[in-house]
């Protein structure tokens, strides 16, 4: 019998009947130890958004028959080194693509058309038309981290008549026809872009990838959008460019995060900040429940887990 734990009853209800050889229980390892009667039965454990840490993974390690941990996020760097030995970690690749792409498009349009100024004028009750705000159409955008989310962003930007190229570890032609450049040529690409969109995870290779040299290579009045991870951007270097008025930014993620009260990013000119909401899909929505059903099917047939990213290792 395959036993799947989900963090809330709402997720269990959305998942529905998993079949005669599977069952669903409600357990959130961020809140409690595994139920005593289920400890030795749990096969697949689904985690809630924004949960993790040693305590949570220690509770998962109490389940001797656990085979798969299903994250709610596409990023998984926060789980590295914590997954119990012999347990597969799966991410939520594909679940959040549309949602992140929608927010990216919103941030791009809002910044290009200077929408915050319109909202401010409305609050003040004054009529201040801006006929000089640039369009999104006919701009060039570079998506840094061109994976499945990057493809979803590219599709929406092209619908707005934007010329899109990508950057990834190695050069290739993406399935959607986008030219993807190798990461080692990134700095040479930046001077030719109106918009640079960062979608990369945070790891050693991307820590402060967007540093002073990166920003200096961007053309005047270019827009930086970060919907990846806050630590990919050097906040001090970005603030210097924003305060000079040379660059603009739209940030779904920041470093530090949450952004504390009084932080200069809140009031930096040309900067839009939203509180890390681009990619948080409801776990009751079909995109997540479809992934869980695929995990059950994979387990049922002895296949590799869907969205497998890493295996927990025994200590050295």
| Same domain membership, residue 146 and residue 84 | no
Could you tell me if 258 and 291 lie in one domain? Answer: no
Total number of domains in the chain: 2
Same domain, 129 and 247: yes
**Do 255 and 304 fall into the same domain?**
no
Residue 200 DSSP one-character state: P
Phi, psi angle pair for 117, to nearest 5°:
-65, -35
Residue range of the domain that includes 154: 97-273
pLDDT surpasses 90 at 14: yes
Q: Are residues 109 and 70 in the same domain?
A: no
**pLDDT tens-place string over residues 265-280:** 999 999 999 999 998 8
Instruction: Report the mean per-residue pLDDT for the chain.
Output: 95
Structure tokens at 229: 């991870």
Mean pLDDT of 39-51: 96
Of 140 and 315, the structure prediction assigns the larger pLDDT to 140
Give yes or no: residues 10 and 153 share one domain: no
Task: Look up the CATH number of the domain holding residue 287.
Answer: 3.40.50.720
Please tell me the pTM assigned to this model: 0.89
Q: Do both 120 and 225 map to the same domain?
A: yes
- The span from the CA of 217 to the CA of 300, in Å, is 51
d(CA 105, CA 110): 8
Task: Tell me the torsion sign for CA atoms 257, 112, 192, 103.
Answer: positive
Q: Residues 126, 257: one domain?
A: yes
């Amino acid at each position: 019998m395959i036993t799947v734990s989900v963090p809330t009853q709402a997720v269990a209800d959305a998942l529905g009947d998993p079949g005669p050889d599977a069952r669903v229980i409600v357990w959130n390892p961020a809140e409690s130890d595994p139920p005593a009667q289920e400890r030795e039965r749990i096969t697949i454990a689904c985690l809630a958004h924004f949960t993790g840490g040693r305590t949570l993974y220690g509770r998962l390690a109490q389940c001797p028959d656990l085979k798969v941990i299903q994250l709610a996020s596409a990023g998984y760097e926060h789980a590295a080194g914590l997954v119990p030995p012999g347990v597969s970690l799966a991410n939520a690749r594909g679940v959040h693509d549309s949602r992140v792409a929608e927010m990216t498009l919103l941030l791009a349009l809002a910044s290009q058309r200077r929408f915050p100024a319109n909202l401010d004028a409305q609050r003040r009750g004054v009529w201040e038309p801006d006929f000089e705000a640039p369009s999104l159409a006919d701009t060039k955008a570079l998506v840094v981290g061109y994976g499945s989310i990057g493809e979803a962003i590219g599709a929406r930007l092209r619908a707005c008549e934007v010329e899109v190229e990508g950057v990834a570890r190695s050069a290739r032609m993406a399935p959607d026809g986008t030219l993807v450049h190798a990461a080692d040529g990134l700095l040479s690409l930046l001077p030719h872009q109106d918009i640079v969109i960062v979608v990369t995870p945070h790891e050693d290779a991307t820590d402060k990838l967007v540093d002073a040299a990166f920003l200096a290579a961007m053309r005047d009045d270019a827009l930086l959008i970060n919907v990846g991870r806050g630590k990919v951007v050097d906040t001090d270097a970005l603030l210097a460019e924003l305060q000079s008025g040379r660059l603009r930014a739209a940030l779904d993620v920041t470093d530090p995060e949450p952004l504390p009260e009084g932080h200069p990013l809140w009031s930096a000119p040309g900067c839009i900040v939203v509180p890390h909401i681009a990619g948080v899909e409801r776990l009751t929505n079909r995109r997540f429940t479809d992934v869980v059903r695929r995990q059950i099917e994979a387990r049922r047939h002895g296949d590799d887990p869907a969205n497998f990213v890493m295996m927990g290792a025994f200590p050295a």
